[in-house]
C-alpha cells in the first residue's frame, strides 16, 4: 500500500508541476503582444534594408529578423525575466509554408564567347616560316628519328638565328611576299604581330620581357598587344608540363619563374618542337602549366599600363584551371579574359558575370568561386561565382557572409514546407536560373539553430540538375550536370558589453564552409578519357564588431559594424605544396545603420563600405517603411576609378525599391536600377519578388 501511495503522490506532484507551468505560461501570454505581426517597419528595424530586397538570402530572411527580435525580447525590461524564455520560444524562425518567386528583366547577360582562331593562325604563320629554315629532313612516320634529333640538335641554333634576324629586319612587304611563297597568306598587319611576338619571345629574361612590354609593347594598340600576349599563351600551351599538371615527381610543388618559362619557350622554338610528342621532343624543356602561363601573361599586361590584370583560378569538369582577366586601359567597363590563346570580351559586366568562363577554350566553368591572384602569384581575392551564389541561396545560406557587398539577382520559383512548429527546418523544391543563364531543378533543405543566442548557426543542402544552355556558355551544344551543394555557417558571439548608457557592443567570430560536387552528365563537356567529376571546398573565417545604440526613448536605433574575412589558401597560385598554405586576407568593411520611429513610419538609412586588395566599393540606401509599405533609394559601386571591376557591385549603379506586405501572408517587392556609367540602356535592370507565406 505504501508503494501505491508514493506513486500516487508522485503523480499528483507531476500534475501540479505541469499545471503550474501552464499557469505560468498563461500568465506570460499577455507578453506575446511584444512579438509583432509581420511588419516591414519592424523587419527593417531588426535587420536593415536587406530584408526588403531578398537578394541572395531569401530563404533565411525570416531567421535574420527572428534573431534580432529574440535579442530585443531578451533585453526588454517590460517583460518579466521569468517570461522572456517563453516569449522568445514563440518567435517563428521561418514559415510553415511558403510559395515564392523572384526574377529579373533586363540587364546584361554574359553570353560567353571566346575565340582563338586569329592567334592560332598567327602562330601557324610563325611556325610555318620557321619550318622553312629547318636544315634537317624529318623522317617519315614510324621510322627511327635518331638522325633527325642529332641533326636538329647540331644545326637548329644557327638556323633559328637566321630566321629571327630575317623576321626582325625584313620589311613588311618582303615578309608578306616570302610567306606567300610558302603558301602562307598574311597581311602587313599580321606581320606587325609576328615581329612583336619574335621580339617578346627572344627578350631573354623576365626583366627584358617586362621592359619590352612597357616600351615597344606600348606602341602597339591594346588589341595588338593582347594578340601578342595570346601568342605567348599559345606557345606556353605547346610546351605544357604534363608531369607538373599530374603532380608527378614533385613537379606540382614550388614556382616556375617567368625566367624559367621564357627560357623553355625559346628552347622548344629553337628545336622546332610542336608538343611533347614531336620527333625532337626529347630535346625539349617543358616547364609551364596554366598557372605559370597566366602569371607571365599578367606581368606583361601590367607592364603595359594595364594594372587591373589578374590570374583567375576556377574549377572545371575534373580539375582546376588558371587564366587571365584584364581591364582595358582606355575603357574601364571593358574587360578581357585570356585563356591560353583565346580571348573573350566583357562589356558593362562586373563581379562573377565578368569572371564567368563559359566553355573556356575547352575548359568549361564548373566553379563555385574564382580565386584571384596578382602579378606576383599572390592570392588576393576569392569571388563567389554565379553558380556558387545560386546554390548558397538555394540551400538557405546568405551570400553576404561570403562577400559583404555581393549581388545575387537569381530567378527562383520555390515551394517550402517546415516540419517543425517554429519553422527552423525548411524543405523546398525549386526551379531557377542563375545570373549567367544556367538553369537548376532540384530539392533543398536547411536548418537554423541557436537563433537569438550567442551561438547561432545554419546549414543547408541542394541536390539537383543543372541545364547549361549553349548560348550562355558559348558551347557547341546544350549540356547538363548533376550538382550537389552543402553549406554551413556558425557564429560565436560574446555577450553584450555595456559601453555607455544606451550603448552596447559585442564581437562576432564566425565561419562558413561549403562543399560542391559536380558531374557533367551530357553535352560537349562530357569526356570519355578524363574525369567528369569535380569536388570543391570553400570557406570563410570572419570577425565582426557591432555597436548598438538606443536613443530618444527607443525611437532612434543605430548600429555600427566593422569586420573582415580571411581564407586559408596558397601563398602563390603557382605553388600547390602544403608548405605554401597561409592565411589570405580577403577584405575589411565598415557600416552603419539608423532607424527613427516617427509615429507609424520608420525612417531608415544605412551604408556599407568594403576595401580589399582589388579596390573599394560601397552601398548607401535610405527610405521609409510602414507596416505594409517600404520605399527606398540606393547607390552602389566602386569608390575609386582604379578599382578593378571584378568584385561584385563595382559598376556604379543607382536604384529605387518598393516593397509591400498587404498582410502577414503576402510580400512583394520591385527594384529598378540603372548604371550611372557606361550604356545605361543596356544595363537597366528590374528585379521583382513575391511570396505567399503561412
Model confidence over 397-408: pLDDT tens digits? 999 999 999 988
Q: Which of 89, 70, 160, 173 is nearest to 421 (CA)?
A: 89
Q: Which of 291, 296, 310 is nearest to 253 (CA)?
A: 291
Q: Mean pLDDT across the stretch 428-455?
A: 96
pLDDT value at residue 208 = 98
Q: What is the chain's mean pLDDT, rounded?
A: 92
pLDDT value at residue 3 = 57
pLDDT value at residue 676 = 94
Model confidence over 467-515: pLDDT tens digits? 999 999 999 999 999 999 999 999 999 999 999 999 999 999 999 999 9
What SS3 string covers 12-78? HHHHHHHHHHHHHHHHHHHHHHHCCCCCHHHHHHHHCCHHHHCCCCCCCHHHHHHHHHHHHHHHCCC
Model confidence over 78-121: pLDDT tens digits? 888 888 888 888 888 999 999 999 998 887 778 899 999 999 99
**49-58, 171-180, 230-239, 304-313: range with lowest mean pLDDT:** 49-58
| Residue 683 clears pLDDT 90, i.e. is over it | no
**3-state DSSP helix/strand/coil percent for the chain, to nearest 5?**
35, 35, 30
Q: Mean pLDDT across the stretch 55-78?
A: 85
- Considering only residues 50 and 259, tell me which one the structure prediction assigns the higher pLDDT: 259
Q: Mean pLDDT across the stretch 374-385?
A: 97
Q: Cβ contacts of residue 208 below 8 Å, gap of 6+?
A: none
33 φ/ψ angles, rounded to the nearest 5 degrees: -65, -15
Q: Cβ contacts of residue 135 below 8 Å, gap of 6+?
A: 151, 155, 156, 158, 159
Give how far Cα 141 sits from Cα of 135, 144, 145, Å: 18, 9, 9
Q: Quick one: pLDDT band at residue 47, thresholds 50, 70, 90?
A: confident
Q: Cβ contacts of residue 662 below 8 Å, gap of 6+?
A: 628
Q: Cβ contacts of residue 366 below 8 Å, gap of 6+?
A: 314, 315, 316, 317, 387, 481, 518, 520, 525, 534
Q: Mean pLDDT across the stretch 348-369?
A: 95
Q: Cβ contacts of residue 511 below 8 Å, gap of 6+?
A: 489, 490, 539, 540, 541, 542
| Residue 15 clears pLDDT 60, i.e. is over it | no
Q: Quick one: pLDDT band at residue 325, thresholds 50, 70, 90?
A: very high
| Residue 10 clears pLDDT 90, i.e. is over it | no
| Residue 522 clears pLDDT 90, i.e. is over it | yes
Could you write out the DSSP letters of every residue in 369-386? EEEEE-TTS-EEEEEE-H
For a pLDDT cut of 70, what percent of the chain falls above it? Answer: 96
Q: Quick one: pLDDT band at residue 8, thresholds 50, 70, 90?
A: low
**19-28, 237-246, 325-334: range with lowest mean pLDDT:** 19-28
Model confidence over 569-592: pLDDT tens digits? 999 999 999 999 999 999 999 999
For a pLDDT cut of 90, what percent of the chain falls above it? Answer: 78
562 φ/ψ angles, rounded to the nearest 5 degrees: -155, 135
Q: What distance in Å separates the CA atoms of residue 322 and residue 568, rounded to the nearest whole number?
A: 18
pLDDT value at residue 11 = 53
pLDDT value at residue 22 = 46
The answer, as to whether pTM is greater than 0.85, is yes
pLDDT value at residue 21 = 45
| Residue 656 clears pLDDT 90, i.e. is over it | yes
Q: Which of 85, 121, 143 is nearest to 197 (CA)?
A: 121
Q: 310 pairs with which residues across the strands?
A: 325
Please, are residues 672 and 686 in contact by the beta-carbon 8 Å criterion? yes
Amino acid at each position: 500500500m505504501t508503494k501505491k501511495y508514493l506513486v500516487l503522490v508522485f503523480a499528483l506532484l507531476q500534475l501540479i508541476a505541469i499545471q503550474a507551468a501552464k499557469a505560468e505560461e498563461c500568465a506570460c501570454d499577455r507578453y506575446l503582444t511584444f512579438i509583432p505581426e509581420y511588419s516591414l517597419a519592424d523587419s527593417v528595424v531588426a535587420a536593415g534594408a536587406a530584408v526588403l530586397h531578398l537578394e541572395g538570402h531569401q530563404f533565411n530572411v525570416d531567421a535574420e529578423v527572428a534573431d534580432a527580435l529574440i535579442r530585443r525580447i531578451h533585453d526588454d525590461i517590460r517583460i518579466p525575466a521569468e517570461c522572456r524564455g517563453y516569449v522568445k520560444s514563440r518567435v517563428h524562425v521561418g514559415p510553415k509554408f511558403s510559395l515564392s518567386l523572384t526574377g529579373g528583366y533586363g540587364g546584361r547577360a554574359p553570353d560567353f564567347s571566346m575565340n582563338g582562331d586569329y592567334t592560332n593562325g598567327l602562330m601557324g604563320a610563325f611556325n610555318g616560316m620557321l619550318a622553312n629554315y629547318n636544315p634537317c629532313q624529318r623522317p617519315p612516320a614510324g621510322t627511327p628519328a635518331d638522325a633527325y634529333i642529332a641533326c636538329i640538335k647540331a644545326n637548329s641554333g644557327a638556323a633559328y638565328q637566321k630566321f629571327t634576324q630575317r623576321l626582325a629586319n625584313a620589311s613588311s612587304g618582303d615578309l608578306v611576299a616570302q610567306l606567300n611563297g610558302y603558301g602562307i597568306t598574311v597581311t602587313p598587319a599580321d606581320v606587325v604581330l609576328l615581329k612583336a611576338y619574335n621580339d617578346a619571345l627572344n627578350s631573354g629574361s623576365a626583366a627584358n620581357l617586362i621592359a619590352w612590354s612597357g616600351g615597344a609593347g606600348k606602341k602597339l594598340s591594346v588589341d595588338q598587344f593582347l594578340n601578342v600576349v595570346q601568342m605567348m599563351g599559345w606557345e606556353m600551351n605547346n610546351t605544357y608540363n604534363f608531369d607538373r599538371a599530374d603532380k608527378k615527381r614533385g613537379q606540382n610543388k614550388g614556382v616556375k619563374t617567368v625566367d624559367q618559362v621564357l627560357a623553355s619557350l625559346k628552347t622548344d622554338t629553337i628545336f622546332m618542337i610542336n608538343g611533347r610528342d614531336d620527333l625532337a621532343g626529347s630535346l625539349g624543356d617543358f616547364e609551364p602549366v596554366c598557372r605559370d602561363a597566366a602569371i607571365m601573361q599578367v606581368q606583361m599586361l601590367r607592364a603595359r599600363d594595364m594594372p587591373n590584370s589578374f590570374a583567375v583560378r576556377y574549377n572545371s569538369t575534373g580539375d582546376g584551371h588558371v587564366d587571365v582577366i584584364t581591364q582595358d586601359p582606355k575603357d574601364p567597363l571593358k574587360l578581357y579574359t585570356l585563356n591560353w590563346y583565346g580571348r573573350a570580351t566583357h562589356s558593362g559586366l562586373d563581379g562573377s558575370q565578368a569572371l564567368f568562363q563559359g566553355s573556356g577554350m575547352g575548359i568549361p566553368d564548373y566553379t563555385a568561386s574564382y580565386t584571384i591572384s596578382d602579378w606576383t602569384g599572390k592570392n588576393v581575392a576569392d569571388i563567389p561565382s554565379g553558380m556558387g551564389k545560386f546554390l548558397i541561396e538555394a540551400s538557405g545560406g546568405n551570400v553576404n557572409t561570403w562577400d559583404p557587398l555581393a549581388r545575387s539577382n537569381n530567378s527562383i520559383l520555390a515551394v517550402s514546407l517546415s516540419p517543425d512548429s517554429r519553422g527552423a527546418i525548411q524543405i523546398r523544391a525549386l526551379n531557377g536560373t542563375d545570373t549567367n543563364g544556367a538553369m537548376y531543378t532540384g530539392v533543398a533543405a536547411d536548418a537554423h539553430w541557436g537563433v537569438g543566442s550567442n551561438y547561432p548557426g545554419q546549414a543547408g543542402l541542394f541536390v539537383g540538375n543543372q541545364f547549361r544552355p549553349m548560348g550562355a556558355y558559348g558551347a557547341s551544344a546544350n549540356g547538363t550536370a548533376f550538382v550537389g551543394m552543402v553549406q554551413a555557417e556558425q557564429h560565436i558571439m560574446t555577450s553584450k558589453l555595456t559601453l555607455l548608457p544606451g550603448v552596447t557592443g559585442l564581437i562576432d567570430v564566425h565561419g562558413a564552409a561549403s562543399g560542391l560536387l559536380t558531374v557533367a552528365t551530357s553535352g560537349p563537356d562530357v569526356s570519355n578519357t578524363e574525369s567528369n567529376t569535380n569536388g570543391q571546398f570553400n570557406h570563410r573565417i570572419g570577425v565582426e564588431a557591432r555597436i548598438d545604440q538606443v536613443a530618444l526613448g527607443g525611437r532612434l536605433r543605430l548600429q555600427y559594424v566593422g569586420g573582415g574575412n580571411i581564407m586559408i589558401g596558397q601563398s602563390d597560385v603557382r605553388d600547390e605544396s602544403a608548405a605554401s598554405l597561409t592565411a589570405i586576407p580577403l577584405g575589411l568593411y565598415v557600416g552603419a545603420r539608423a532607424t527613427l520611429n516617427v509615429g507609424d513610419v520608420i525612417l531608415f538609412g544605412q551604408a556599407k563600405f568594403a576595401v580589399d586588395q582589388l579596390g573599394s566599393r560601397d552601398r548607401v540606401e535610405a527610405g521609409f517603411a510602414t507596416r505594409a509599405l517600404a520605399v527606398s533609394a540606393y547607390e552602389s559601386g566602386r569608390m575609386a576609378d582604379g578599382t578593378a571591376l571584378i568584385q561584385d557591385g563595382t559598376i556604379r549603379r543607382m536604384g529605387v525599391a518598393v516593397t509591400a506586405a498587404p498582410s502577414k501572408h503576402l510580400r512583394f517587392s520591385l527594384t529598378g536600377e540603372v548604371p550611372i556609367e557606361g550604356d545605361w540602356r543596356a544595363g537597366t535592370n528590374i528585379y521583382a519578388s513575391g511570396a505567399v507565406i503561412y
